[in-house]
């Protein structure tokens, strides 16, 4: 497992636990020196778990490379043909890099394409990382907010509870609701999938949805894009509500589309000075008008719009443990445990869904055409 080249990436793709399990499967595990430092895993812990501590160049001898980010051109040059590279590949808009992985002859797997089926739940990096992002969004909001979240009744008077509104109640949103509730905030949430309502309420938050929008569930439990009329109805509902909120956390995504714009500049203007908005969708274009990727913007009326990048990486040590386990569990399905060799079943739906390149070709159906 190499050290990530991107210095802003604090996570690692293996943990002492997964190293031990990999060794148990028969792998000789090499971890690049210092790879775990930013996730507080020191080399000696990896060594104790059964890994050898190596150099960057050792990736070139590996049969399997576990990573966070897609390999760079410089990294690819060092890998041998046939190496399995398992990572978050972020392939949309990066088709040239997908082709480069095919040209390098590596077999690349995009973990974010793991099907959301029961068998693959323990390999679902989107869930494991979004869960932590939802948690961290509330912590970031609380840190930017200059008032308390819980109601405090003291001899010196009463501090009211903060009002938190979560937009998008998927994995990240539900964890944001739970975290804000634990901190004592009064929480409301919205989503376009009717099924989310029950989950929101079971966490003790109030679900807000317009009558005009019955249900916008799309394929596979994800949301579909709203029609123009539905968007207007949603905006009307949200506009009044947002003006009364102290903290807004947006998490809304639509597969394969830019993030829907949910909070307009006028809505931001309607909020009280000192209010905080966390846009977890900022890397996908953002849910909030005025949000800037990687920045905390303070508007003229004193509202902070937070657009942190790689929010799971802001809880790197926890995120690494879960990410490492996701990768291990997937890799385990590609090992013949008796013979202790790699044995990829090309008919396995997990392999079909995640494999981007193999034997010099782009093989994933969504990218085959762009490779021609």
Active site residues: 116, 121, 124, 127, 222
Q: Is 193 a binder of ligand NAD (CB under 6 A)?
A: yes
Q: Is 64 in the site for ligand NAD (CB under 6 A)?
A: no
Which residue in the set 125, 192, 205, 355 belongs to the binding site for ligand NAD (CB under 6 A)?
192
Nearest distance from C-beta of residue 193 to ligand NAD, angstroms: 4
CA distance 163 to 177: 11
Could you tell me which residues come within 8 angstroms of residue 156 by beta carbon, excluding any fewer than 6 positions away? Answer: none
127 binds ligand NAD (CB under 6 A): yes
Query: In the complex with ligand NAD, which residue's Cβ is closer, 30 or 248?
Result: 248
Q: In the complex with ligand NAD, which residue's Cβ is closer, 38 or 193?
A: 193
Check residue 168 for interaction with ligand NAD (CB under 6 A).
Answer: yes
2 interacts with ligand NAD by CB under 6 A: no
Is residue 301 part of the contact set for ligand NAD (CB under 6 A)?
A: no
Binding to ligand NAD by residue 133, rule CB under 6 A?
no
User: Is 365:358 a contact under the CB 8 Å cutoff?
Assistant: no
> Closest approach of Cβ 208 to ligand NAD, in Å?
10
Q: Is 282 in the site for ligand NAD (CB under 6 A)?
A: no
| Stretch touching ligand NAD by CB under 6 A, among 14-22, 67-75, 118-126, 344-352 | 118-126
Place of tokens 């920045």: 295
Residues in 214-243 at the binding interface with ligand NAD, rule: CB under 6 A: 221-223, 226
Q: How far is the CB of 143 from ligand NAD (least distance, A)?
A: 23
Nearest in space to 163 (alpha carbons), one of 187, 191, 140, 146: 187
Stretch near ligand NAD under the rule CB under 6 A, chosen from 30-38, 68-76, 135-143, 162-170? 162-170
Give the integer Cα–Cα distance in Å for 15 and 183. 30
Region near ligand NAD per CB under 6 A, out of 11-19, 122-130, 158-166, 328-336: 122-130
Token output for 176? 């944001």
**Residue among 19 and 200 whose Cβ is closer to ligand NAD:** 200
Smallest CA-to-CA distance from 108 within 91, 127, 125 is with: 91
Q: Residues 253, 305, 306, 351: which binds ligand NAD (CB under 6 A)?
A: 253
* Shortest Cβ 351–ligand NAD spacing (Å): 17
Among 13, 164, 167, 362, which residue interacts with ligand NAD (rule: CB under 6 A)?
A: 167
Contact 107, 101 (CB under 8 A): no
252 is an interface residue for ligand NAD by CB under 6 A:
yes
249 contributes a contact to ligand NAD by CB under 6 A: no
Nearest-approach distance from CB 360 to ligand NAD, in angstroms: 33
The residue with its CB nearest to ligand NAD is 170
If the CB atoms of residues 47 and 225 are measured against ligand NAD, the closer one turns out to be 225
Contact with ligand NAD (CB under 6 A) among 102, 169, 203, 321: 169
Length of the chain: 372
Site size for ligand NAD, by CB under 6 A? 29
The reply to whether 202 sits near ligand NAD by the rule CB under 6 A is: no
- Interacting residue ranges for ligand NAD, rule: CB under 6 A: 116, 121, 124, 126-127, 130, 167-173, 190-193, 196, 221-223, 226, 251-255, 260, 262
């Amino acid at each position: 497992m190499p050290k990530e080249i991107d210095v802003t990436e604090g996570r690692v793709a293996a943990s002492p636990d997964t190293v031990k399990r990999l060794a148990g499967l028969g792998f000789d595990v090499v971890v690049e020196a210092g790879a775990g430092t930013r996730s507080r895993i020191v080399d000696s812990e990896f060594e104790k778990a059964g890994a050898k501590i190596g150099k960057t160049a050792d990736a070139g001898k590996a049969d399997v490379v576990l990573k966070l980010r897609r390999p760079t051109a410089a990294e690819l040059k060092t890998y041998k043909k046939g190496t399995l590279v398992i990572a978050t590949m972020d392939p949309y808009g990066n088709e040239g890099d997908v082709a480069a992985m095919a040209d390098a002859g590596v077999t690349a797997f995009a973990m974010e394409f793991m099907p959301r089926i029961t068998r693959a739940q323990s390999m679902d990096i989107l869930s494991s990382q979004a869960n932590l992002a939802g948690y961290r969004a509330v912590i970031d909001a609380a840190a930017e907010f200059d008032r308390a979240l819980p109601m405090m009744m003291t001899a010196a008077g009463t501090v009211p509870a903060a009002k938190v509104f979560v937009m998008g109640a998927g994995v990240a949103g539900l964890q944001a609701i739970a975290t804000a509730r634990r901190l004592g905030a009064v929480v409301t949430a919205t989503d376009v999938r009717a099924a989310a309502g029950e989950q929101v309420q079971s966490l003790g938050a109030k679900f807000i949805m317009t009558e005009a929008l019955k249900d916008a569930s799309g394929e596979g439990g994800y949301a579909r894009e709203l029609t123009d009329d539905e968007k207007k109805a949603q905006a009307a509902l949200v506009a009044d509500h947002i003006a009364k909120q102290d903290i807004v956390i947006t998490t809304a995504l639509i597969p394969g589309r830019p993030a829907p714009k949910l909070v307009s500049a006028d809505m931001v203007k309607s909020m009280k000075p000192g209010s905080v908005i966390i846009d977890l969708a900022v890397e996908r274009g953002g849910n909030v008008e005025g949000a800037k990727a990687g920045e905390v913007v303070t508007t003229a009326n004193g509202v902070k719009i937070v657009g942190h990048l790689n929010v799971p990486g802001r809880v790197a040590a926890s995120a690494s443990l879960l990410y490492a386990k996701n990768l291990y569990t997937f890799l385990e399905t590609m090992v013949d445990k008796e013979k202790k060799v790699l044995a990829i079943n090309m008919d396995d739906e997990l392999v079909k869904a995640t494999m981007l390149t193999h034997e010099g070709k782009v093989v994933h159906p969504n990218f085959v055409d762009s490779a021609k």
